[in-house]
Amino acid sequence: MDQVPTLIEFVRDVAAGAWAPLLISFLLEHVAWFQKLNTEAKKWTVPVIFVVLPVVGQIALQYVPAEVWTALEPFWNSLAMGFVGYVGSQLAHSFQKR
């Protein structure tokens, strides 16, 4: 991937399930309430999220007007680049620790 996908492309990918493993593993690894769950609760929470996330993406694609997607795009670019920067800093930090 040579560029960040647009917001609508990203949401389409989420609706198709493409980003779910990456998003869920990253978020749940860094979310305190999930880490506090017992093993059985985690076992059921993860598949529920895998089902709900694409459904929410599809609902957004169907019911959010095109004008809203257009208005959100600049904010998405900033958010996405901030996330890319964060991931890059974490990778650099992990290599420096070794």
List C-alpha distances in Å: 37 to 21, 46, 48, 56, 79.
Answer: 19, 11, 14, 24, 29
Residues 34-92: tens digit of each pLDDT: 999 999 999 999 889 889 989 999 999 999 999 999 999 999 999 988 988 888 898 88
Output the furthest CA–CA distance in the chain (Å, rounded): 48
Statement: the pTM of the whole predicted model exceeds 0.85: no
